[in-house]
Chain A
Amino acid sequence: MTAALRFDPIRLPPVCEELRKEVRAFLAEEIAAGTFDPHKPQREDSDAPEFSRRVGERGWLGMTWPKQYGGHERTFLERYVVTEEMRIANAPTRRFFVADRQSGPVLLKYAPEHIKMDILPRICRGELCFAIGMSEPNSGSDLFAAKTKATKTDGGYLINGSKIWTTSAHIADYMIAIFRTSPPTKENRRHGLTQFLVDMKSPGIKVNPIAQITGQYEFNEVVFTDVFVPDDHLLGEVDGAWKQATSELAYERSGPERFLETYYVLTELVRALGPDPDTRGAEGIGRLVAQLHTMRRMSVSVAGMLQAGKEPVVEASIVKDIGTIWEQQLPHRVRELAAFVDGEASNHATLDELTAFATKLAPKLTIQGGTTEVLRGIIARGLGLR
């Protein structure tokens, strides 16, 4: 047999269900206090610094990190529950989500001790927002074509060039980015890029907003002109960023955010069709729920295997591939079934509004964080085709 795929039927342990209750109670309080409206995922600016601090106070940021850095040494399965409940409630997680999922783990692994001691506890307290500097105007999926330069100077590096599609750059305190420190070699075109931690308050950084088709403002162009980054902000190996991007990817790819991004339209469809839908409505709901349940079981399975120290890299890519396509198609399926909704349904307007928003949002879901095409290449390699 070729490489066998594994999706062990992992169940979340009881501690997760206790935690789930706490998270739900917390979110209900926040909603009641007017912090956010769970029925408004389309809100224009989802930055909520105070909410972020309160999530930190509850101990739900840096959950899996060592205590010495402000973390809580809990399991990835516990973090999973917090993530999915936040997502289902459409909570404003923008400020802390990237730092918690991605940037913190990179710093934990590659930053010098004094930087870890300085920054990680602040992430855990919900005080810091991070951006990721990967894509450039002429290098998107082809990450290793990046040209923005880091040139060695006294005590550090000077950055010149630009990054693009940088989510949250306009509110971020820091960016973790890759810059070119050497040209690629003949043998290895991935050589020559180095990962850096950049303080977004550094002189020479200009953030230009880019409007999106949903009407939301999330991403930006970031232009660097002689931006100084000190030596101790270099993360990992000079010219070796390509070696550093692998292990965290499985977490990034397979989380609940990879299939729940448009979930709200399914809830509203069920509400609109009412307790006694016709056959077509019932079948439509049944299929979507079966697919959702399966996606989640796959995603929990990958989380559990990761927690157990396994490396389900291919499985994680599969979860993102079919998960993002599912959440992308969901508004279209809901739109079809909405034809059978009674005109008197109380949430008619909400359903229409949310379906329209999700339809506009859908195209990005299979692009951000690794396109479908890139993922399928990774899966094909895992299958032994490359």
Chain B
Amino acid sequence: MMRNKSVAFLGFDHVRCAVRPVPAALVFVSAFHHHAAQQQDQHACLAIRRVLSAQPGNAVTETDNIVVETAEKIFADLADAQTINADKAETWKAPLWQALSESGLLLSWVPEEFGGSGASVAEGFGVLNAAGRAGLAVPLAETMLAGWLLAQGKIAAPEGAMTIAPAHPKDRIALDADGKLSGRARSVPFAQGAQHIAVLAQSAAGATIALVPASACRIDKGLGVGGDASDVVTLDKVAPIATAPAPDGLNQTSLLLMGVVARSLQIAGALETLLDRSVTYANERVAFEKKIGKFQAVQHNLAKLAGETSAALAAATSAADAISSADGFDEALFLEAAAAKIRCAEAAEKGAAIAHQVHGAIGFTREHILHRFSLRALAWRDDFGNESHWAVELGRMVAKRGADDLWPLVASR
């Protein structure tokens, strides 16, 4: 189970030099990164280093990022929305999953020493933005997050699909004195079908990272608005495969915020596609003897959709950049992550409504692909704490700092 395998990105071995001496996310695995970077052939790395500049501000949106390009190629080839939507037998799923697995993308955030492909945090977020654009319906984000959590405890990542628990801010999983895990985690995305669950548990000694087999948990199946699994996971004295104390700074809030930024990038990606599809449709569909995109009312609706898409993109990529280049978890990082989820969720509501309005009745059909993006964008609002939850938390933080410290906080970003 705990084989320490080395998985490289398909045909892009040199992408490993993307493992830069940049601090990782909310908690750091930079020791591994330095080690890995030293092992690289410096010459082979030069070109790719230029492309994958580690400077903040170039984190997620550089389109010439080879990791993101790999993901986009797989999504284009094996996760075409039209094909998937028409495929009632779900024959698309296995080849897509296999490609994601073989490419190393599933374990983007796991260092090579622990069986992953050691991409940077920024690259991983870029992959999730692309996954959002594709309306991806497999647990890529969940497996990546689980791998990331395990890596924080230096626990090697197993093969196969994973997810994380807890996924809801109010749920807790406890580790007792006998080393057994108990608790209930609601709204766990893709728990059904996962082989393993990465758990952040609370014990007398503090937060603990644990790897458990999904088969040892009771999983009550559920479906989110987007049609993807959202389950209740109950642990009743489950013996973990491995445990490790969580490093300083990693707690349930920082884990959820990592998930929140992932979802924000997915929502932003889905909105990008909703905008693209809606503009294309408005330029094709004729009513009242002209293309509906020529009507000012429709144009203004689409301009608003572009605004919401922009806000979501800006908030999500900013938060991803902040986490990617942070050297500690602080209030500024909390602002970035919470704000991304709040604003992206608001954008999802407004944006999905406009995309449907522009499409009219055809967009309400099962046959049309619009729902693959609109409903997922709406569903992703709910994961890892919805916008109301994070707004309350953010509001409390701002109130505690006081009125005159609000602007300095905002301006510090």
Cβ < 8 Å to A, chain B residues 145-160:
none
Contact indicator B272/A5 (Cβ below 8 Å): yes
Complex Cα spacing A84 to B408, Å: 11
Complex Cα spacing A11 to B56, Å: 7
Contact indicator B395/A282 (Cβ below 8 Å): yes
Contact indicator B314/A380 (Cβ below 8 Å): no
Interface string of B265-292 (1 = CB under 8 A from A): 0000000100110011011000000000
Q: Write out the residue numbers on chain A whose beta carbons fall within 8 Å of the beta carbon of B388.
A: 283
Q: Write out the residue numbers on chain B whose beta carbons fall within 8 Å of the beta carbon of A297.
A: 314-315, 318, 413
Interface string of B309-349 (1 = CB under 8 A from A): 11101110110111000000000000110111011001000
Interface centre among A4, A11, A274, A275 (most CB of B within 10 A): A11
Contact indicator B398/A384 (Cβ below 8 Å): no
Contact indicator B57/A304 (Cβ below 8 Å): yes
Contact indicator A9/B299 (Cβ below 8 Å): no
Q: Chain B interface: which size bin? A: 35 or more
Selected interface stretch from B39-47, B165-173, B300-308: B300-308
Complex Cα spacing A291 to B317, Å: 15
Complex Cα spacing A315 to B311, Å: 10
Contact indicator A296/B279 (Cβ below 8 Å): no
Interface centre among B314, B387, B391 (most CB of A within 10 A): B314
Contact indicator B56/A7 (Cβ below 8 Å): no
A200 within 8 A of B: no
Contact indicator A9/B56 (Cβ below 8 Å): yes
Contact indicator B280/A2 (Cβ below 8 Å): yes
B404 within 8 A of A: yes
- How many A-B contacts are there with CB distance less than 8 Å? 200
Complex Cα spacing A374 to B306, Å: 15
A146 within 8 A of B: no
Q: Write out the residue numbers on chain B whose beta carbons fall within 8 Å of the beta carbon of A2.
A: 275-276, 279-280
Query: Shortest distance in angstroms between B201's beta carbon and chain A's nearest beta carbon?
Result: 28
B400 within 8 A of A: yes
Interface centre among B59, B302, B307 (most CB of A within 10 A): B307
Query: Shortest distance in angstroms between B313's beta carbon and chain A's nearest beta carbon?
Result: 5
Complex Cα spacing A375 to B306, Å: 12
Q: Write out the residue numbers on chain B whose beta carbons fall within 8 Å of the beta carbon of A263.
A: 407
A277 within 8 A of B: yes
Q: How many residues of A contact B (CB 8 A)?
A: 61
Interface centre among A267, A281, A287, A379 (most CB of B within 10 A): A287
Main DSSP-derived SS at the A contact region = helix
Contact indicator B339/A293 (Cβ below 8 Å): yes
Contact indicator B61/A9 (Cβ below 8 Å): yes
Given known A287-B342, A298-B311, A376-B300, contact A1–B276 (CB-CB < 8 A): yes
Complex Cα spacing A107 to B99, Å: 58
Residue contacts A-B, CB under 8 angstroms, 29 given:
A2-B276, A5-B275, A7-B310, A7-B314, A7-B317, A8-B317, A9-B59, A9-B61, A11-B321, A11-B413, A266-B406, A267-B403, A268-B403, A270-B398, A270-B403, A282-B392, A282-B396, A282-B399, A284-B391, A285-B399, A287-B346, A293-B413, A294-B311, A297-B413, A377-B303, A384-B283, A385-B293, A385-B294, A385-B298
CB within 8 Å of A: which residues of B?
56-61, 272, 275-276, 279-280, 282-283, 293-294, 296, 298-300, 302-304, 306-311, 313-315, 317-318, 320-322, 335-336, 338-340, 342-343, 346, 387-388, 390-396, 398-400, 402-404, 406-407, 410-411, 413
